[in-house]
Amino acid sequence: MAASIPTATRSFIKFIGSELWFSTGYRTPSKCLTRTLSTQSVASTDSEVTRPKRRAEKLSAAMKAFLKRAKEHESKINKYTEEYELGRKHLANMMGIHPDEMTQEHINEAIRYLLPSGLFDKGSRPQFKHPKDILPLNFDFPFDKAGRPYHYQYYTLLPNYHCIMSEAAWRMECLREEEVRIGSTGAPPQEEMKHLSEEYEWMDLRTFLNYFKSNHSEVVQVNEHNRFVILMTKLSKMRLREQDVAFLKQFGSPKTSEINVMDTEEIKKFYVNEQGRKFRTKNGYRKSAIAQVTVYAEGEGILEINGKGIEYFESQYAREQVLFPLVLTSSLNKVDVHARVEGGGEMGQSGAIRHGLSNALLPFVSQQMVNKLSLSGLLDRDSRVKERNKPGQKKARKQFQWRAR
């Protein structure tokens, strides 16, 4: 057997072991219970055991080690604060300011002047701050006197991250059970349950990493962030109670703010007719076709191309190209279009009209639609042109017949 085992556990083993000794057909190797790292001499253990009364409370070794480290940390901080305050007074004297009126901005400016550095990394440039801002302050003692940790997931190395994830998973389980109960019995729900009206946006990678580093001093990886986003989106798509919505709002917010791709004043420019009608003309280009398109707002749906209607184009594809921007913005019968086209062929002319039309529609359409149009690519000039012929080849890509010799 291993090292010395106190008598209380010895009697415990005897009691338990006797039951198991004869009941099992085989024996497992790890029947030795409890473990002691100590190599205490015999005399000390005997003296402990003979006294059944309670001894004075002793601190655990973990607590002792922490107190030692905390004292060292404190002494360090005290030393650095003394140096800092001395230096601060000298700096104030040099600058000609009273030390009480000196702020951190003054100090930063002074340091940049006195100790200029060309280093790119701002963290490695010389700083002059209070040691509390520089040295790590999170010196929490995560367990009590007996050595028992406070957090129930301390033994996973990222307790707070896993606590959040397990809480979300537990909420999902509860909600699923509720749904099953409601569906099977037809009873009303115990609390009000609603779907979320808006789609939620979750924490950025950077904010996520900073959240755990600054609050709990835990180093989290990108994988953890991905899993977090997946779990939260799953939870947000269920029918939620009020407490679940409050839980989710800690980590995300509804997607209200849109990225405005084009927000310049030029887009919103339009002119006014003699008759008081708003209009805008824009040129459209495709291959060698040039089109001038004017769009009149508050119209009936008139479409004119070189004096003719949509019948100017014979093929269905060309007609669709012209009508597509109007269909997207749902302004078929709200807008009048007059277009003049020259050059190119059928397809080129239709593409040019499309280009001009979508650029001319912008002031008469919402910002959301402007973003959509720009992202779809309708506002870009299609730069594809016929590829030139190359010498030694028949056409742009076609080559002469291969000969063996």
Partner 1 sequence: GACIPSLSQQKTYKTDIKAKVVNPRPLTVTRIYEKKVILKNAEAAAALAKEEELSDKKEKINVYKSFHRDIAEDNALKNPDFFKVKEMVDLHTLFKNRVHFGHHHGCRHPFVVPFLYGVRQNTDIFDLDKTLPRLHNALNFIAHMVYRGGVVLFVSRNAQTMPLVEYTAQKCGEYSHCRFWKGGLLTNIDYLYKNLTRYPDVVVFIHTQNNFSHEHAAITECAKMLIPTVGIVDSNCNPTLVTYPVPGNDDSLDAVKLYCKLFEETILRAKEYRKRDIEELSDDSDES
Report the interface residues with partner 1, using CB under 8 A. Answer: 1-5, 8, 10-23, 25-26, 28-42, 52-62, 65-66, 141-143, 146-149, 152-157, 162, 166, 169-170, 172-173
Which residue lies nearer to partner 1 by CB, 71 or 129? 71
Tokens (6 digits) for 391: 């010498």
Residue 379's SS3 state is coil
Which residue lies nearer to partner 1 by CB, 74 or 192? 74
Secondary structure letter of residue 258 according to DSSP: P
Q: Is 186 left (phi over 0), alpha (psi -120 to 50) or beta?
A: left
Q: Sign (positive/negative) of CA torsion 275, 299, 331, 288?
A: negative
In whole angstroms, the minimum distance from the beta carbon of 138 to partner 1 comes to: 10
In whole angstroms, the minimum distance from the beta carbon of 178 to partner 1 comes to: 15
In whole angstroms, the minimum distance from the beta carbon of 228 to partner 1 comes to: 14
In whole angstroms, the minimum distance from the beta carbon of 218 to partner 1 comes to: 11
- The phi, psi pair for 234, rounded to 5°, reads -60, -45
In whole angstroms, the minimum distance from the beta carbon of 193 to partner 1 comes to: 19
Cα 168 to Cα 235: distance, rounded to the nearest angstrom: 7
Which residue lies nearer to partner 1 by CB, 24 or 190? 24
Residue 205's SS3 state is helix
In whole angstroms, the minimum distance from the beta carbon of 2 to partner 1 comes to: 7
The residues that bridge with 336 in the sheet, in sequence order, are 296
Residue showing tokens 């807008």 = 335
Residue showing tokens 């994988």 = 223
Residue showing tokens 């012929």 = 389
In whole angstroms, the minimum distance from the beta carbon of 323 to partner 1 comes to: 52
In whole angstroms, the minimum distance from the beta carbon of 51 to partner 1 comes to: 8
Secondary structure letter of residue 99 according to DSSP: T
Which residue lies nearer to partner 1 by CB, 55 or 206? 55
354: exposed, middle or buried (Cβ count in 10 Å: 0-12, 13-18, 19+) = buried
Which residue lies nearer to partner 1 by CB, 159 or 344? 159
* H or E segment and range at residue 246: helix 242-249
* H or E segment and range at residue 214: helix 205-216
Which residue lies nearer to partner 1 by CB, 231 or 369? 231
Which residue lies nearer to partner 1 by CB, 110 or 175? 175
In whole angstroms, the minimum distance from the beta carbon of 29 to partner 1 comes to: 7
Tokens (6 digits) for 351: 């593409």
Neighbours of 326 (CB within 10 A): 21
Which one, of 255, 262, 275, 265, lies nearest residue 199 by Cα? 255
Give the DSSP letter string of 3-53.
Answer: S---HHHHHHHHHHHHHHHHH-SS--TT-----------HHHHHHHHH--S
Neighbours of 161 (CB within 10 A): 23
In whole angstroms, the minimum distance from the beta carbon of 315 to partner 1 comes to: 57
Which one, of 161, 153, 192, lies nearest residue 175 by Cα? 192
In whole angstroms, the minimum distance from the beta carbon of 76 to partner 1 comes to: 17
